[in-house]
Structure formats: structure tokens, C-alpha cells
Structure 1
Amino acid sequence: MPGATEFEQPIDIAIVGAGIVGLALSLGLNHRNFRVKIYEQSKAFGGFGGGIGFSPNAVRCMQLLHPQLVEAQRKTATSSGDPKNPNDWMVYIDGYHHNSADPNDTEEKELFRLYTGRRGFEGCVRAQFQDELINLLPPDIIEFGKRLERVVDRGDDEKLVLHFQDGDTAEADAVIGCDGIKSRVRKLILGEDHPAALPSYNHQYALRGLVPMDRAIKALGEYKARNRHIHLGPGAYVITIPVAHGAMVNVVAFVTDPQDWSPTDKLTAPANKTEAIEAFANFGPAVKGIIGAITENSKMLDKWAIFDSFENPAPTYARGRVCIAGDAAHASAPHHGAGAGCGIEDDLALASLLVNVSATLNERGKTKKAAALRAAFTAYSNTRIERTQWLVRSSRFLGEALVWRNPKTLRDFDKCSEELTWRSHKIWDFDEQAMLRDLVEEYEQQLKME
């Protein structure tokens, strides 16, 4: 696809949401000379600085979107094991069964392992990576405190008008919603009462925390603290991944929850330390030790509800000159660790299509900008929907398998390993060049229908 160019007809893009997907998209579009503005509802950046990892497909798409994205990722990433000789495996271990005669025995039996490829799935602190992206963008590109209410389409010869809760308005040729799992833009595309307008609770919550490396070593032992491990058990499991260049361990503990959680409520709720400890009371000393570490290091421990779009997937990601990307389009549970990476794929698709829109306007003078943008967003939706919604379904499957409750795998760890391996490689071995070719073909088809 064509790269950066000068446009005879400038295209103004409004991005709603300044999470990683929105920031990466804005960086890619700015690199391609589009006029971009980000509207973020929060008053400023902040919040939980948990860990995040990017799979190989995400890193390849970052390179195509803007090489500086990869530089930012490498700058903040932490290798598993020795940085000079990284351990490129994810190791799945039995965190439940243990030597009951020795309450201090932190040994855990290996069940299976997954090769991630050279420097695959390196962990970083989300806030640090986000800061790196912000530093790469023009200082005036983000407007904070802008909660979107509606988008008004005044016709093909006019720009769209964004109306915000504070009474302000803004204009743009196109609007891209990167506003997360409770996306306002998704509601505007599908309708307020559409079943897919809100996500659904998958009856799991997560306890998350960053633990200093020396404390993690005390709980897990040095090797497990410095290398990626997934500690499995019935109804719950724990991920431990080194981050912050080996200074910290990112801990994410998933717990099955029979209770309901309304999608209109906040996605976090206070969790008392007793509740957290009781969820893993029957696990081995290593797991109980690391859960103890996140509770003792947290002044306030929260549980994070896991919502996704599994029960009510969006039938489309676009309507007119408005579309959605990342969690706003296809929120998945985090068990594959691929949600943000899939959003980066969306970003590459959109940036590439918008370059084609500009080429169409430069080379085919009779084509209206609005028509070309509609064709591009429809092509994006049609091309991306199958893969992204498969990820949502597969993440649900894996979330059940890792807590030994999936009827297809239960405690058959050979089957679990087999399922994990092929599903992971379907994500990682993505052919982004084929996607780019498919997008061009679909865009041309949609343009003929305008």
C-alpha cells in the first residue's frame, strides 16, 4: 500500500480514546500526514500501571504502522530470564497440587510449555509504554475531558460534528472510536438498545499488582520470578511475568466468579485482602506467597471484572464515516494476551485504507471524500470481523481451559497444550501482507457500490 504522501484534499480524522490502540493509530496516521485529533474523556493520563505484552504479529504490524512504535516497545520491554540469552518459552505449571507436608516448598510441577519465538511476548509496564507513545506525538494532538455524546452527519459535502458532554463541538471528516470496552462510539454505530452495545461479564475477575523482584523471589524462587510462568489450578490461575527491566514482576490472578456484574457498573470494585487470599487458599505455597505479595503491596486492592463481546458480537464495526477499533469493536478476555495486539492490526488496516482514500481523491477527481471514507470503513469492517471475533471466542475457550473447567480439556494437559499451541499460532502467524491485499480488494469493491 502507498506510504506517506501530500494530499490535495486534506483528511481530518477524530480519534475517540487515548488508550494504546488510539495512540498507536494516531502515530501511524500522523506519520502518513493525516490531520489527527484525539478526544479523551479522562482529565489526564494516570491509573494502574499494570503489565502488557505484545505477540509477534503485533510487533510486525507496529513496524508497518510506524517503526517508532517498535522502538518504544523495545525500550520498555523486559526479556524473560537473562536479557543476553532470553528464555523464549511460556511455562505452564501446576500451582495447585503441592507437598502438604512442607508448607514452605515452592516447587511446582511443569505441565507443558509454549515457545513464543525469539523475544516473543516480552512484558512491559503499560503506563511506561503509553508514555513513550505520547512523547512521539505532537503536544497538542490530545484534548482531555472530552466525553462524546453524539456524532452528527450533515451530508456528504459537510464534515461530521462531534458533540461532547461539556457542550463543546468538533468537526472531522471521519471518526474512529478507540474508546474501549464500554465504547460510546459502538453505541452510536449500533444503536443504544442493540444487544451488542454493551459487553457481557464472563464470570471471571482479575487481581493485579506489580511486585518488587526481591519480594517475588521470596515467594516463587529466583528462576520462576525471573521467567514467565502461568500457575494453573481449579477455578483460578495466576500469571507472573518480569517487567520494568527485571525490577518488578507483573502478577495477574484470574478467579472464577459465579456472581453477576452489570455492564453499566464500574469495571473495578474493591477487593478485601481476605477475599483475595481465600480465593487461593487451597493452592500451593508459591501461589499463596505471590498472592500475599500483591495484597501486602496494595493500599487498596481492586478486582477487575473481565467483560467481553462473546455473547453479543457486533454485526459491524462501521456505519458511514464512523468506525470502531480494538476493544471498542471486539473486546476479548485477556487469556491469549492478544487484545491490544489485535487492536494494532486494526490500526494498520485503517491507516493503510486511509492512504488509499487519499490516493483515490488525488487520482479520481469525481469521487467524493465521504463516499471514499464510507467505502474504506466498510472494507475495514468486512475484512477484520472474522479474525477478531474468532479471537473473542478463543479467549473464552482458553479462559475455561486454564482453570480446568473446559469440557474439551478438563485436566488433560496434553489436550490443553495442543489447543493452546494451535490457537496461539493462529494469532502469531497472522499474514499482515495478505490482510493489506484483501483490504485493497474489498475497498475497490465497496467504492464501486457508492
Structure 2
Amino acid sequence: MLNRPIRRVLAAPFHRSNKTIMDRQAKDAPLDIAIVGCGIIGTVLALGLLKRDINVRIYDQAQSLREIGAGIAFTANARKCMSMIDHRIVDCVTAVATANGDPENPNNNMQFIDGFTHDPDDPTADDMTGKTLYKLCAGPRGFEGCHRAQFLDAVTELIPEGVNHLSKRVEEVVDDPNGGPVTLTFGDGTTATADAVIGCDGIKSRIRQLILGPDNPASYPHYTHKIAFRGLVPMAQATAQLGDYRARNQHMYGGPSAHVLHFPVAKQALMNVVAFVTDPADWPLDLAMSQPATKGEVAAAFASWGPTVRSIIDLLPPELDKWGVFDAWDHPAPTYARGRVCVAGDAAHAAAPHHGAGAGIGVEDALALCALLEGVQRSVRGQGARKETVLKVAFLAYTAVRRERSQWLVRSSREAGEIYEWNDPVCGADMAKGHEEIKRRSHKIWYFDIEGMLDELKMEYSRRLVPEL
């Protein structure tokens, strides 16, 4: 709760005591929420809560604001959620997003093609002629790439001064069972208090560990046995090698136990390339998820592929990054909350990137939490509800409504990777079957009933709240 000075009351109307007035001031004070993690989801959530007259402080262990990774895309449903959180967030997407294809006539398709099959006796021949290019329309502006760091920079500029607190690594969170504030203890020995804590601290979330327990395998992400090699290519080089259409439009190339994705970012100044390779080895959790790599490693993995894919790999810089792909599918979190502490985004349901929807689902979480906490504030102010009680109710409702869809995404993202890599037991190497299966799954993500989610949240909150009032 804010440490606002309470003015001395000389003559309380109707002979109310000072304690009564202080209780009224406490009830009318805004909620005070601590967010752990100042990445995309934490920042978007903070903007939504601030817009709803809820006090927010963000704590992050980093010494400076930064976002890892290269490309990210938001489809129409994610942008609609953003507009309902704070319309300025959509403006941030527009400011940094890159049109797919011709900016005057954008191509809204995700595109899939066989990148492996070719004539081995003529390794330099055109291997794309005669192949089907499968297209999946994502709707108006449905596939626009952003550079993660540019988008985070844009939304962070909207955060008021004094909200972000860096170099604050959370060690413990204690939820006072007697209704006092939740206390956060940081690695530097300092503490902070809040009415509730929301962990948006990513795939290795400390808050998830505190909710589920250190011995619970669901407290930690697990290796999917996929490596992602990432690189950015100057668009001039990409168009010279691939032609204008291929370089400036998203393409995904399928093949055995690997696949390659590229799409334009940075207002088409760069082509973002991600090459996924199946890895039978282990990747220890204590090893950083990003490791240095060389183009030679990627080239070796795709040496038997068609000339188009090999030419894309040849565009990569000599040194690049490789990422171990982790997710939360092997051991899904059984709950997203305990008491007045909850998790959102990757901290709750980290997914492999094969649907390109992890951030979008996290934005849905942020909208859900904004709606619920706005309802909590109304309950406290209008109905005299106990703040600590209704916060717990809100987080229970959040888990009840959000868990099924978000965990489905975790599973489907893992399975989509196998479809792209011809390992799915039904689709195999049949790209037509694979395209139809990806279409079915993508539509479930894109055509989500946002208003229905908000109605369900309201119903769950109200149903659980009545016995508590």
C-alpha cells in the first residue's frame, strides 16, 4: 500500500473516529501490485494496471532493460487484447512492425513449402519450381514481424518514472496469513511489500518455483531436444540471393527432423532467420539457453537439403547464436497461483516457438489479470470486501479460466514442431496434411473469443466471491 500521509482530522463528521477515517482511506487507496520481470508481458501488464488506477512497481534482476531474441509477431487477436489493455500498446506494435511483403499491399499469409526434396545429381538446380507453396491467411495485418528489443523499448517508454526497479533479484516471497502485505526479499538484502505479486519473470521463473516448490519438476522448464540457430541478414544480401518475393515474405521450409523459418523485420531492413534442428543430446538447465555457434554447425545440419535452404543458411553470419528450446509441457504447472501470488506468460506456460503465439497468449493473460484486478478494486471500494481475500479469489479465477487454453498451446506448439519436421505420426512428410493440421491449430489460437474469456472470468470471480463477502 502506498505510504501516503494521512491528514489530521480535527472534526470528524457524524463523530466518526480517526480509526474509521483511516479505514476508509485504506479501503479507497488503489491496489498496490508488484510485478516481477520487466519483459514484454510484465510491461504490458503494468501499463494495463496503471490505466485502471492500480499502483504498480516492477522488479527485475537485470541491471538494464533488455529483451533477448530477435523476431516476434503479433496476430490480430493479440493486438485486440492489447487495445483492451491500453490502446497505446497497439501503436507501439504499429511503430515497429514490419509488413510481410509489399508494404503497399501486405501479404498476410504464413507460407509453407518442402525445403528438402531436390535432385541430388544437380545440387544447384532450382528446387522450388513445381512444388506447392501452402498459404495460411492470418487475417488483416495478421503476420507482421517485430524486433523484440524495439517493441520492448517502445512500450517501456510509456512506463512512468519510478515504476521500474532494476538489479532486484527476488529470493523469497512471503504471503502474510494474517492479511498483512506480501513481502518480497531481494538478493541484495532489501525488501518490498505489496498487496499481491505477479511473476512475469519468464521461462526460468523464480516466482513459479516459490508457488510450486523447489522439488516440483513443474517448477522448471525442460528441454524439447530442439536447437534454434538465429541470425539477422541484411535485406540487400537476402534479396540478391533469394529474390525479392522470397526474401521479403515469410516462408517456412519443412524437412526431416529440422525446419527453417524466415521473415522480414526492422521495416524490411533485415531478414530474420531461425533454423531448428532436432538434438538427441541433453541441455542442462544450468547451462545458459543461448550459446555461441558458427555457420558451419548450421550448414552441416542442412548439408543434404535443397539448394534454396542451403543458400539461406549461407547468408547467415559466420558467428551467431544457438538457443536450446525449452518448454513446460513435460511437467505442466498444476496451478498458476498460490494465495496472493501468481504467474503469467512464460512464467506460467512457456511454449516452444513453433506457433509463434507464446507472447500473444501472454498478452491474453495480461488482459485477464487487468480485468480481474479492476474487479477486485471495485469489490474493495464498493462492497467493503477484504482486500487480501478477494485477491486470492481473483487469482483462483485466473487459473481456472486461463490454464486449459494456455497449456493446450504448450502441447500444440511442441507438436507443431514435429509436423514441420515430418515426424508427426499422422502427417509424416505429407505437407498437404501438415498444412491442414497447422491451419486447424492456428485458427484455434487466432479466432479466440476474447469477450467470452472476460465473461467467464467475471462469472468465476463472482461465483467464488459470494461466500467470501
Q: In the TM superposition, what is the alpha-carbon distance from 1:408 to its structure 2 partner?
A: 1.5
Distance 2:457 2:256 in 1: 43
Match of 1:339 in 2: 358
CA distance in structure 1 between the partners assigned to 2:241 and 2:126 by the alignment: 8
What is the TM-score normalised by the length of structure 2? 0.91
Deviation at 1:448, TM superposition (A): 2.9
Answering whether residue 293 of structure 2 is matched by residue 271 of structure 1, we say yes
Distance 1:345 1:56 in 2: 12
The amino acid that maps onto 1:364 is Q
Q: Secondary structure at the match of 1:415?
A: helix
Q: Which residue of 2 aligns with 1:349?
A: 368
2 CA distance for matches of 1:121 and 1:101?
37
Match of 1:388 in 2: 406
Q: Distance in 2 between matches of 1:287 and 1:199?
A: 31
Of residues 54, 64, 87, the one that matches 2:107 is 87
What is the CA-CA distance between 1:348 and the residue it aligns to?
0.1
Equivalent residue, structure 2, for 1:412: 430
Moved over 6 A (4+): none
What RMSD in Å do the two structures reach over aligned CA positions?
1.5
Question: What is the correspondence of 1:48-447 to structure 2 with a 5 Å cutoff?
Answer: 48=68, 50-100=70-120, 102-108=122-128, 109-296=131-318, 298=319, 301-365=320-384, 367-447=385-465
Contact 1:238–1:251 (CA<8 Å) still a contact in 2? yes
Gaps of 5+ in 2: 1-25
| Cα distance in 2 for residues equivalent to 1:389 and 1:117 | 24
Aligned to 1:223, the other structure's residue is in SS state helix
SS in 2 for 1:239: strand
Q: With the length of structure 1 as denominator, give the TM-score of the two structures.
A: 0.95
Quote the residue 2:48 is aligned against: 28
CA drift at 1:263: 2.2
Residues 58, 345 of structure 1: 8 Å contact kept? yes
User: CA shift at 1:254, angstroms?
Assistant: 0.7
Are 2:30 and 1:46 equivalent residues in the alignment? no
- Counting aligned pairs with the same residue, the percent is 51
CA distance in 1, matches of 2:369, 2:260: 35
- Tell me the residue number matched to 2:12: none
Shift in Å, 1:82: 0.9
Equivalenced residue count is: 441
Q: Say whether the 8 Å CA contact 2:34–2:56 is kept in structure 1.
A: yes
Question: Secondary structure of the residue that 1:21 maps to in structure 2?
Answer: helix
Q: Does the 8 A contact of 1:156 with 1:370 survive in 2?
A: no
**Offset, 1:104:** 4.1
Deviation per CA, 1:333-377: give whole Å up to 9, x if none: 100000000000000000000000001011111x21000100000
Matched residue of 1:349: which SS? helix
Deviation at 1:292, TM superposition (A): 2.1
1:10 equivalent in structure 2: 30
Task: After TM superposition, give the deviation of residue 110 of structure 1 in Å.
Answer: 3.0
- Structure-2 residue corresponding to 1:3: none
Secondary structure in structure 2 of the residue aligned to 1:258: coil
- CA-CA distance at 1:407 after TM superposition: 0.8
Structure 1 residue 232, shift from structure 2 partner: 1.3
The residue type equivalent to 1:73 in the other structure is V
Aligned-partner residue type, residue 419 of structure 1: E
**Farther-moved stretch of structure 1 (144-153 vs 218-227):** 218-227
Q: CA deviation at 1:156?
A: 4.2
Q: State which drifts further: 406-415 or 310-319.
A: 406-415
For 1:386, the aligned partner's letter is E
The 10-residue stretch of structure 1 (169-178 or 48-57) with the greater mean CA deviation from structure 2 = 48-57
Distance 1:426 1:116 in 2: 12
Give 1:98 shift: 2.6
